[in-house]
Amino acid sequence: MSDRPILLYPHPALKTPAARVAPTDPDVAAIVQDMLDTLKASPGVALAAPQIGRLVRIIVVDVSRKKGEEGHGLVVLLNPRILQQDGPRIIREGCLSVPDYTGNVLRYERIVVEGTLPNGLPLTLATSGFEALAFQHELDHLEGTLFLDRIESLSTDLFRRKR
């Protein structure tokens, strides 16, 4: 297994909804390992399978990689979905697949997410703050949605990153 290139916008895979995946699928372990290796080699805190060209519903989130954040540690979920969301707010967000820009998007401060662990067990998590934002961002990737699609006004809410 190894880290994979992260696809960059406007790659068509980033705009394609991902398919559900079964924990018994023999490719799941390899995809998850590639995602973990890719995340480890990146400056990010989360990754969705479509970002490495795999159009399946798998995400990895580990906000503890960001200084000052704790969260639930490393979470790998298959077929995740949001059950509840509360506390809407506008947040500045970026993406490994859109490295040159950030933008103001509507996200929720608190969410409840459920999915399946790679071993087949169900998991439900209540998350808040930065971790909740990361989950929302990655679930968008599974739908073929980028943060760019959530920006209200490209002229006032999209910003070039300073390098």
Which of 44, 19, 47, 18 minimizes the C-alpha distance to 33?
A: 47
Query: Does residue 131 carry a catalytic annotation?
Result: no
Residue with tokens 């060209």: 53
Q: Provide the pairing of β-strand 158-160 with 98-116.
A: antiparallel
Contacts of 92-96 with C-beta under 8 Å, sequence gap 24+, read: 92/159, 93/133, 93/137, 93/147, 94/147, 94/161, 95/9, 95/137, 95/146, 95/147, 96/6, 96/42, 96/43, 96/44, 96/47, 96/51
Catalytic position from the list 69, 93, 131, 138: 138
Instruction: Indicate left, alpha or beta for 145 from its phi (over 0: left) and psi (-120 to 50: alpha).
Output: beta
Cα 7 to Cα 32, 84, 120, distances in angstroms: 16, 30, 28
Residues annotated as part of the active site? 138
